[in-house]
Amino acid sequence: MSNKDLCDSISTKSSDEFYSPVPEGYKKGKTKYVIITGSVISGLGKGIFTSSIGKLFVDRGLKVAPIKLEAYLNVDSGTLNPFRHGEVFVLDDGFECDMDLGSYERFIDMSLTKESFVTSGRIYKRIIEKERRGEYLGRDVQFIPHVTGEAKKVLRELAVKSKADVIVVEIGGTVGDYENMFFLEAVRQLRYEEGEENVAVINLTYILEPSSVGEFKSKAAQLGIKRLIELGIQPDIIVCRSQNKIPDSIKEKISISSNVPVERVIGSHDVKNIYEAPLFLRNLCVDEIVLKKIKLDKKFKLTDSKELIDWTKKNMVSSDKSITVGIAGKYTGLADSYISILKALEHSSSLINRKIEIKWIETTAIEKGKAKVENELNGIDGLIVPGGFGTRGAEGKIECIKFARENNIPFLGLCYGMQLAVVEFARNKLNLKDANSTEINPKTSNPIICILPEQEEIEGLGGTMRLGGYDLIVEKNSLAFELYGKTKVHERFRHRFNVNPSYIESLESKGMKFSGRAPQKKIMQIMELPEKEFFLGTQFHPEFTSRPLNPNPLFLGFAKACKKRKEK
C-alpha cells in the first residue's frame, strides 16, 4: 500500500492501529495547517507570531482559524493564578483560556470560541469519558493511537466548524517538555496523514547573545531544533528570535544543522512595538514562504502592503507627550496579569496621540501600612482598579478608590474594581462603616456586594461564574450612553458577586447612578458618579472586547479624561 493510499484510508475504528478519528464532513486537503512550535526558552513570542501570521493571511483574503494546544492538565484556564500564567482571557462563549487568544482576537479582529483552545487536561477528559461509555470496545486506551488521535480530531473538528482555509496551530511550551510530547507526536502524524503539501511546521527558536561573550551563540538553538527533528518533525521554516539583528553566519549555522534552506531561516529581532510585527514579517516574506509551502501562493497572491502599513501607523503614537495611569492591584509583579487592560490602553493611546505610562500600585502594601495611598497615587492622571478575587489587597484598593473619588481623579473600576467602589461609597457616603462584600467578609451586617442568586448552590470554583458575552441596557442621559452612543451593548463577564439590590435605592439617593443593567433583571452592570469628571465602574470586562483600531469606548473615554486632566 502506498503512503497516499494509507493516508486516504485513515481508520476511525478504535481497535485499529491507524485509529485517527475524523469528524463528519471532513475532507483531506481542503484545509491547510500551519504548526508553530518553540525551542530553547519559553516567552519567545509565539503568541504574537501566531497572531501576526494570522493577520497576514487574513489580509490576503484567507479564512483563518487559530488554535492553541496548551500543555497543562487543567481543563481550562479558569482556576490559574495570574502570577503563574498571566491573565485569564474570557471568550464570548464563556470559555476561560490563555491570554494568547486575546492576542489572536485583537490582531485578526475576530471573536473566537472554545474550539480555539485545548489543554492536555481537556484531551484526557474527552478520552476518559469515551472509555467510561465503552466507546473503545474493550481496547486498552493508549497514548498512541488514542490520545494523539483525539488531538488530531480537535484540529479537524475546528477545520470543519470554521470552514477555514488555514488552521494556525500554536503548541504551548517548549520542544522537549514532557507535557506537550503527545501534541508534537500528533502533529507528526497529522503531516503524515494529510500530506506534506498540506502542513507547514514553523519553529521559533532563540539565539543567545551573552553579554560576557559579546557575540551571538547558536548552539542552544541548534540543539533545540535537533530535538524537534528527533521527534520525527522536520521544520519547514525556522524563525530565529533575538534581541538584536543576527548576522547571516548564524542563519547559515542553523540551516546546515537543521536541513532547512537558508532562505527559510528567518531572523526576527525585537521591534519597538508589537503592532510592527505583521509588517516586519511581511517585509521578510514569511507569509509568502509559508503559503508556497502549503501550495496556496497561486490562489492567494501577495497583496498591496499599503493597508498593512496604514494599520501599523494608526497603532503608533507620534507624540512624545504622555499621561500616567495608575493600576492598583495585587498581581502588579507580573504585567501579563493585566495584559488586556494594557492593550486596551494602547488602543486608546493611538487615538488620543499620547503615550500612556503605567504606574503599578501594589495594594497589599497600602493595606499593610507599608505604603501611603497619597504617595502611591501621586502624579497619576487616572486610576484603574482591575478585576480580581479574594481578600488580599482589597482594603488597599478601597483606599485608592476613596482617594481618587475625593480628588476627582478619573477612575475606571473593572468587575471587582466596581464592586469595591460601591463598597467605598457605602462606607463613606451612606456612613455604613462595616459595608463590605460577602466575598471579603461573609458575616458583614451590610452586604453591599453579595453572591449572585444563581450561584448560591454551587460549591466548586472552575467554570461556575457568570462567564462570557451578555447584553446589557444602557440608560440615556448617562456617561455610559455618551461613550457607547447606544442603549444596548454586548460585553464579556467573569464574576460571581453583584451589587445587592436592597441597597440600590440608598446608593442612588446619595448620587450614585447605575446606568447599565441586565435586561429584565435587577442586576447592576455599570456604575458612575455624575458629579465627577470621570468615575465609572463596570461589572463586565471591557478590555476583552477592545481592538487595535477600535478601542472599547469606555477605555477611550477614560483615556480622554486622563488627557484632559493632564492638560489642565
> What is the CATH classification number for the domain harbouring 47?
3.40.50.300
SS3 357: strand
In a domain, 20, yes or no: no
Grid cell of 130 as nine digits: 469515551
SS3 74: coil
Are 483 and 394 in a shared domain?
Answer: yes
Name the one residue in this structure whose C-alpha cell is 484598593. 397
Stretch (H or E) spanning 413: strand 411-414
Q: Which residue type occupies 136?
A: Y
- Find the radius of gyration of the CA atoms of the chain: 26
Range of the domain at 469: 322-567
Cα(first)–Cα(last) distance of the chain, in Å? 79
Q: What is the spatial distance between Cα 407 and Cα 534, in angstroms, rounded to a whole number?
A: 11
Residue 299 backbone dihedrals phi, psi, to 5 degrees: -80, -40
Q: Are strands 96-97 and 89-90 parallel, antiparallel or unpaired?
A: antiparallel
User: How many domains, in total, are found in the chain?
Assistant: 2
Domain-ending residue, one of 295, 313, 331: 313
Residue 346 sits in a domain of what CATH number?
3.40.50.880
Are 167 and 283 in a shared domain?
Answer: yes
Q: What is the spatial distance between Cα 453 and Cα 415, in angstroms, rounded to a whole number?
A: 17
Cis peptide before 386 (omega within 30 of 0): no
In a domain, 79, yes or no: yes
Answer positive or negative: Cα dihedral of 438, 499, 493, 563: negative
Q: What is the spatial distance between Cα 403 and Cα 411, in angstroms, rounded to a whole number?
A: 10
Are 301 and 331 in a shared domain?
Answer: no
Residue count (the chain): 568
Are 271 and 327 in a shared domain?
Answer: no
Are 433 and 532 in a shared domain?
Answer: yes
- Asked if residue 268 lies in contact with residue 284, where contact means CB atoms within 8 angstroms, the answer is yes
Residues in CB range of 385: below 8 A, 6 or more apart: 327, 328, 329, 397, 400, 401, 411, 412, 413, 414, 416, 417, 420, 421
Nearest Cα to Cα of residue 78 among 133, 117, 26: 117
Nearest Cα to Cα of residue 62 among 73, 53, 71, 74: 53
Q: What is the spatial distance between Cα 433 and Cα 422, in angstroms, rounded to a whole number?
A: 13
Are 393 and 294 in a shared domain?
Answer: no
Q: Which of 105, 193, 541, 562 is labelled catalytic?
A: 541
Q: What is the spatial distance between Cα 240 and Cα 258, in angstroms, rounded to a whole number?
A: 13
In a domain, 27, yes or no: no
- Asked if residue 512 lies in contact with residue 499, where contact means CB atoms within 8 angstroms, the answer is no
Q: pLDDT tens per residue, the chain (568 residues)?
A: 444 454 455 656 655 666 788 999 999 999 999 999 999 998 899 999 999 999 999 999 999 999 999 998 988 888 887 777 789 999 999 999 999 999 999 999 999 999 999 999 999 999 999 999 998 888 888 989 999 999 999 999 999 999 999 999 999 999 989 889 999 999 999 999 999 999 999 999 999 999 888 899 999 999 999 999 999 999 999 999 999 999 999 999 999 999 999 999 999 999 989 999 999 999 999 999 999 999 998 777 777 788 899 999 999 999 999 999 999 988 777 778 899 999 999 999 999 999 999 999 999 999 998 989 999 999 999 999 998 888 888 999 999 999 999 999 999 999 999 999 999 999 999 999 999 999 999 999 999 999 866 544 444 444 457 889 999 999 999 999 999 999 999 999 998 899 999 999 999 999 999 999 999 878 899 999 999 999 999 999 999 999 999 999 999 999 999 999 999 8
Write out pLDDT tens, residues 131-162.
Answer: 999 988 888 889 899 999 999 999 999 999 99
Nearest Cα to Cα of residue 404 among 432, 377, 368, 433: 377
- Active site includes 543? yes
In a domain, 235, yes or no: yes
Nearest Cα to Cα of residue 237 among 256, 258, 209: 258
DSSP for 276-337? GHHHHHHHTTHHHHHHHHTT-TTTSPPPPSHHHHHHHHHTS-----EEEEEEEES-TT-GGG
How many other β-carbons are positioned within 10 Å of the β-carbon of residue 52? Answer: 26
- Active site includes 415? yes
In a domain, 408, yes or no: yes
Are 334 and 379 in a shared domain?
Answer: yes
Dump strand ranges (E) for 58-133. 64-70, 89-90, 96-97, 117-119
In a domain, 4, yes or no: no
Are 365 and 266 in a shared domain?
Answer: no
Residues in CB range of 492: below 8 A, 6 or more apart: 90, 91, 92, 468, 469, 470, 540, 541, 544, 545
Name the one residue in this structure whose C-alpha cell is 512550535. 37
- Asked if residue 143 lies in contact with residue 182, where contact means CB atoms within 8 angstroms, the answer is yes
DSSP for 131-186? HHTTTTTTPPP-IIIIIHHHHHHHHHHHHHHH--SEEEEEEPS-TT-STTHHHHHH
Q: Are strands 199-206 and 32-38 parallel, antiparallel or unpaired?
A: parallel
Nearest Cα to Cα of residue 559 among 364, 324, 379: 324
- Asked if residue 537 lies in contact with residue 417, where contact means CB atoms within 8 angstroms, the answer is yes
pLDDT mean across residues, the chain? 91
Q: Which residue type occupies 461?
A: L
Are 279 and 346 in a shared domain?
Answer: no
Answer positive or negative: Cα dihedral of 168, 173, 174, 178: negative
Q: What is the spatial distance between Cα 346 and Cα 358, in angstroms, rounded to a whole number?
A: 11
Nearest Cα to Cα of residue 77 among 67, 87, 92: 87
Q: Which of 240, 415, 450, 562 is labelled catalytic?
A: 415
Q: Is 155 left (phi over 0), alpha (psi -120 to 50) or beta?
A: alpha
Answer positive or negative: Cα dihedral of 124, 126, 129, 135: negative
Name the one residue in this structure whose C-alpha cell is 507620534. 318
Enumerate the β-bridge partners of residue 175: none
Q: What is the spatial distance between Cα 451 and Cα 495, in angstroms, rounded to a whole number?
A: 9
Domain-ending residue, one of 245, 280, 313: 313
- Active site includes 541? yes
How many other β-carbons are positioned within 10 Å of the β-carbon of residue 199? Answer: 23
Write out pLDDT tens, residues 496-523.
Answer: 899 999 999 999 999 999 999 999 878 8
Domain-ending residue, one of 282, 313, 344: 313
Angle (CA) 462 466 469, round 5°: 120
- Write down the pTM of the prediction: 0.91
Are 232 and 296 in a shared domain?
Answer: yes
Write out pLDDT tens, residues 304-340.
Answer: 788 899 999 999 999 999 999 999 988 777 778 899 9
Are 102 and 236 in a shared domain?
Answer: yes
In a domain, 29, yes or no: no
In a domain, 416, yes or no: yes
Are 268 and 307 in a shared domain?
Answer: yes
Q: What is the spatial distance between Cα 42 and Cα 218, in angstroms, rounded to a whole number?
A: 16
Q: Which of 115, 185, 543, 562 is labelled catalytic?
A: 543
